[in-house]
Structure 1
Amino acid sequence: MNSQLSIFRPKIDEISLLSINTSAFFPDNYGGYMVAFAGRKYAARSPPAFIANSTYTVTSFTLVMEFQKGRLQNLFWKRDGCASCKGNSNFVCLNKQDCAIRTPSCKGRGGTVDCSLGIQLAFSGTDTHLAVLNSWYEVENMKQYSLYGLYSNLKSSLTSQFNNFF
C-alpha cells in the first residue's frame, strides 16, 4: 500500500496548526488512516486515526504531545465527542467521537467543500526544568474548529487580497 508523508516541525508549547490540502490528495486512496510520530533516539507513535473513506472525511484533528521532564512520552489524538458538529447539517458524527463530512461533497470529489485536513498540535506535561507545558490547556478551552476556521478565513482573505494586485 502506498503512503504519503508530511513533515512538520512545531515550536515547543505553542499551539500549531498543520493544514494538508486534499483537493488533489485523496486520503482514502492511501488507506484512510494516519499516524503521527516524533522523536530522535526514542520515537513515539500515535495510534492510527481515521481520516477518510469513500463515504466520509474527517477534516479536524487535535494531536497532543505528552512530555515528562522534557522527554516525549506519548502522542495521542484528542477527540471532542462530536460537540463541534452538533447542529450543523453538513457534518455527521462518526462513532460518537469524530465530525465528518460526506466525501462526495469535497472538492476534487465532485463537491464544493474544502476538505483540507487541519491538525491542531498541543503539548502537555513538563519540560526539562519541570515547567508546565500549557498549550494543551489552551486548546482544551477552544472549540474544535476554532483554529482551523481562523486559519481558513485568514488564508482566504490574504489570497483574495493578493489576487487583486494582479
Structure 2
Amino acid sequence: MGFLGAILLLSLVLGAFADDNPVYNPCGDAPAVARGDGFTFAVALGSDPTFWHGLSPCDPNLVQVPEILPSGTSMAVFRPKVDELSLIRFNNISLNNLNNQFPGNQSLMVYAGSYPAYISVPKTYRTPLGQVPTFSLVLDFNRGKLRNILWKNEDCKTCEKQYCFNNRNCAVPQATCDQSRGTDPNRCRLALQVAFSGTDKNMVPMQSWYQIAQLKQYSITGLYGQAVDNFNAAIGNVVDNANAITNP
C-alpha cells in the first residue's frame, strides 16, 4: 500500500466523525482547528534514534521520492479528535516485520505539518533487553495551530517487576514479551496515549493532557485491561491500527 492509499484508508476508517479540517495528509498545511475536529499526524518506525538525524519527511522536494523514509522503515497515519484522549495501538504483525528489519534497537518519531514540519524527539521503544509498551504523546496547539509535538515526562513508579529504561519508561523484559506473545498479545504491544494541550482556534483551553495523569496511576500491564475496559470516560477513542501501517 502506498502513502496515498494509507491516507484514503485513514479517511474511510477513522473519518466517520464530522469535522472542519479537510487536510488528511500529515504533511499538509492544516487550518486552525477546534476541539472535536480531526487532526492528522504520522508515526515513523525504524532503527535507533540516530537513524532519524537530519530527516525531514515532509520536505516537498522529496515527496515524489519512494525513499522519502530510510529503507526498511514503516509509517502509520492517524487522525484522532482534537482534545480527545486517544489510545493508539500498533499492529503486532507489522511490528514483528520491523523486528526482522532491525534486530537491534528500534525507535519511533512523530511528525505533522507542512515543511519543515513539526517533528518529535525520537524515542527508543525496543532493545534486545525489552520493550516499552506505551508512550504518552502531547500535541501542543496555539489558537488551533500546531506548535510542538512533545513526549510527556514519564517516571518509573509503576514499573513493578519491569525494568526502567533510560530512567523514564517502564519496559517489559524481552523474554516476558516472547513468552506472552501467544497468550497475552497486548502485553508488549506498542501503543501511544495521545493528548492535546494549548488552545484551539476559538481560544478554548485543551484539557485532555491532564487526563494522562489519571491513567498513569495504573501499571503498564493493567493499561490495556483496566484503562480500555473501565475508563471509557477518560479515553475517548481506542484505535487498533490493523491496516494503516505501510512501508515506503
TM-score, length basis structure 1: 0.78
Is 1:75–2:182 an aligned residue pair?
no
Aligned equivalent of 1:48, options 113, 122, 130 = 122
State the alpha-carbon separation in 2 of the partners of residues 80 and 41 from structure 1.
29
1:14–1:7 Cα change, 3 Å: same
State the alpha-carbon separation in 1 of the partners of residues 75 and 230 from structure 2.
26
How far did residue 76 of structure 1 move?
A: 1.1
1:92–1:147 Cα change, 3 Å: closer
1:24–1:6 Cα change, 3 Å: closer
How far did residue 151 of structure 1 move?
A: 2.7
Alignment size in residue pairs: 148
Q: In percent, how many aligned pairs have the same letter?
A: 32
Report the more deviating stretch, 28-37 or 94-103.
28-37
Native 8 Å contact 1:23 1:116 kept in 2: no
- Aligned-pair RMSD on alpha carbons? 2.4
SS in 1 for 2:75: coil
Q: Which residue of 2 aligns with 1:101?
A: 172
SS in 2 for 1:104: helix
> Any gaps of 5 or more consecutive residues in structure 2?
1-70, 232-248
Is 1:17–2:103 an aligned residue pair?
no
SS in 1 for 2:127: coil
State the alpha-carbon separation in 2 of the partners of residues 23 and 152 from structure 1.
23
How far did residue 24 of structure 1 move?
A: 5.8
Q: Which residue of 2 aligns with 1:4?
A: 74
Native 8 Å contact 1:79 1:98 kept in 2: no
How far did residue 15 of structure 1 move?
A: 0.4
Q: Deviations over 1:4-41 (max 9, x none)?
A: 11111101000011101335623554450000112246
Report the more deviating stretch, 35-44 or 130-139.
35-44
